[in-house]
Structure 1
Amino acid sequence: MSVDPFETVSGTREEILAATYRALCDHGYADLTLSVIGDELEKSQSLIYHHYDGKDELVLSCLEYMLDYLESTLDETVDDPRVTLEEAIERICAPANSDPEESVRRAFIELRAQAAHDTAYREHFTRSDRVFRDWLQSVIEAGIDSGTFVDCESGRVAEVLCVTLQGIFFRRTTVTTTAWLPDTSDELVATLERTLYAPESTSK
């Protein structure tokens, strides 16, 4: 499964959204203009104005497209809840393998900041948080049903885990060192072993 929603695109609209994504990663939100997006598109800039009225409408459409893609990739069935949770932690805590990965993180932090004063962005990130939290809850409930996790209030645990992982994401993107990431990841897993995993699961 590809983690890039724009690995393959079809039609003018998706080409514009892919160009927006690349421009965001390369230039950041503050320096993003329709002209910059037009340069990435490598087609007439008038195509952008034909479909979108301005920068933020286009960026929000790009975010919605990416979130829809994410939802479509989330597995409805969870074969191993513990492995699934720990893989999610690893993805967020693992060192970046390339500069583009850091560029993506920085772009999302910039966009999230717009939600402080822009209702449209706030609504998007409210939905985005809900999608991630609901997925975490579904994994936890699968673990409870299979006996891998102890019985708990899955929604509350998912909320705490969601906020914790978001905090890690924000911090790693906005500080000068990530040397703290391995210990943080290990301690988070250790906390799950003490509070969520069933005794038989922790002994595996």
Structure 2
Amino acid sequence: MTDAPTEILHATHRALCEHGYAELTMQDIADETDLSKASIHYHYDCKHDLLLAFLDHLYERFEARIADPEGATPEAKLRSLVDSIVTRQSDAPAFQTALLEIKAQSPYDDAFRERLRRFDDTFAAAVRTIVEEGIEDGSFRDDVDPDKVASFLTTFVNGVQTRHVGAGHPVEESTAALDAYIDEMVCCESDPGDDSDASNTGQTDSGGAAE
């Protein structure tokens, strides 16, 4: 059975999707539960306190989601990490719009800004770790600066989300640009001879499997 605070946080997600940040009320959140408005206020004094708790809740999920990106190589992990933030979040436009509204409050609200910064810092740290692994195993260029790559990707990913929600820019175009950046600026240039050999090997293997 879900405890009341958790139920309220889940209800906050649904209410944000329905009403957005600006129009959201404690009653809207209560309407998404079997609890009364007074019960919501028992756990959270006001909408601001509840949204701070909600951001903490989102951060815990975010931290767990990016902790172990899929992929057997640093390159695969890096692409998977970026994809988990860009592509996989684009199918929830109502929530992304509400979250963008919350982000818009952060210049005027230290508590919001502090919590949102944690998302950026955690994502950047994950990128940095993967890039360092790639440099060490030789799959990434040895002149790549992990801090600069982490900063660029963090900034770009934030921009992708804002541009998609605010201007309807296709996520696919942004994803292609990110892939090109990783190919050109991070990964080592492949040896054409090696690619040819790998291709031939792959064709042989495929033929054998088909038989």
TM-score tier, shorter chain, comes to 0.7 to 0.9
Other structure's SS at 2:21 match:
coil
Q: 1:69-80 residue pairs with structure 2 within 5 A?
A: 69-76=61-68, 79-80=72-73
RMSD over aligned Cα, in angstroms? Answer: 2.3
Q: Which residue, 176, 183, 199 being the options, matches 1:193?
A: 183
Structure 2, unaligned stretches of length 5 or more?
199-211
Alignment match, 1:12: 4
Runs of 4+ residues over 6 Å off in structure 1: none
Change in 2 beyond 3 A, CA 1:19/1:183: closer
Aligned with residue 59 of structure 1, among 43, 46, 51: 51
Q: Which has the higher helix share?
A: 2
Q: Which has the larger radius of gyration?
A: 2
- Corresponding pairs, count: 191
Give 1:21's aligned residue: 13
Instruction: Give yes or no for the alignment of 1:40 onto 2:32.
Output: yes
Give the letter for the 1:144 counterpart: I
Q: Is the 8 A contact 2:66 2:81 kept in 1?
A: no
**1:142 corresponding residue in structure 2:** 133
Write out per-residue CA displacement over residues 112-166 of structure 1, whole angstroms, 9 at most, x where no aligned residue: 0110111111111111211111111112112222221112220111001110111
- CA gap of 1:134–1:18, structure 2 versus 1, over 3 A, is same
Q: Which amino acid aligns with 1:111?
A: I
2:76 aligns with 83
For residues 43 and 172 of structure 2, the distance between their equivalents in structure 1, rounded to whole angstroms, comes to 44
Deviation of 1:69 (Å): 1.8
Instruction: Tell me the equivalent position of 1:130.
Output: 121
AA at the equivalent of 1:117:
Y
The normalised TM-score by structure 2 is 0.81
Letter in 2 for 1:170: T
CA spacing shift, 1:108–1:95, aligned 2, 3 Å:
closer
SS at match of 1:29: helix
Q: Which residue of 1 aligns with 2:103?
A: 112
CA distance in 2, matches of 1:183, 1:72: 27
What letter is aligned with 1:16?
Answer: I
| Residue identity (%) | 28
Q: What residue is the counterpart of 2:208 in the other structure?
A: none
- 1:53-86 residue CA offsets vs partner (Å, 9 max, x unmatched): 1001001101101101221233357632212222
| Letter paired with 1:153 | D
